[in-house]
A = this chain, B = another copy of it.
C-alpha cells in the first residue's frame, strides 16, 4: 500500500516537468513582443505581488541565484519597467520597484494569461482544481524539504 502511494505520487510528478517546460514556452512566446524574457516577467510578477524588494529577496521567492535576478533587474530598469530606490531599512542595500509602466505591463500580461488559462482543462471542476492545488502544495513542501536536507 505504501508502495502504491509512492507510485501514485510518482504518476503525478511525471506531469510536472513537461508542464513546466511547456508553460515556460507559452509564457516566452507571450512576453517576447514586449522584449521580455520568462525570467524578467517572473521578477515583474514578484514586484507586483509583494511590492518593492531587494535582489536577494526576489531571488529567494523565485528559487533563482542572485546574479540571475540582478541581470533581469538591470534589463527591466533599462526598459523603464523597474527602478532602484533607497532602502529605508538598510542603508547599504537598495530596493527594486515597479515603475508605472512596469505595473501596467505586468497587469496586462497577467490578464491575458488568465484569459487563456480559463479555457484550459475544461473537463475539470473548480473543486478538482482546488484539490489538485492542495496536493501540489503539500508535495512541493515535502520535496523542497528533502531537496534542502
Q: Output the least CB separation between A45 and chain B (Å).
A: 9
Interface size class of A (residues with CB under 8 A): 35 or more
Stoichiometry (number of copies): 2
> Which B residue sits closest to A146, measured CB to CB?
B26
Q: Output the least CB separation between A124 and chain B (Å).
A: 5
Known interface pairs A131-B128, A135-B128, A144-B22. Does A118 touch B15 (Cβ–Cβ under 8 Å)?
no
B12 touches A20 (CB 8 A): no
- Given pairs A9-B120, A22-B140, A132-B135, 15 additional interface contacts (CB within 8 A): A6-B117, A8-B130, A12-B133, A12-B136, A15-B133, A15-B136, A17-B23, A18-B140, A19-B143, A22-B147, A23-B143, A29-B147, A124-B139, A128-B134, A131-B132
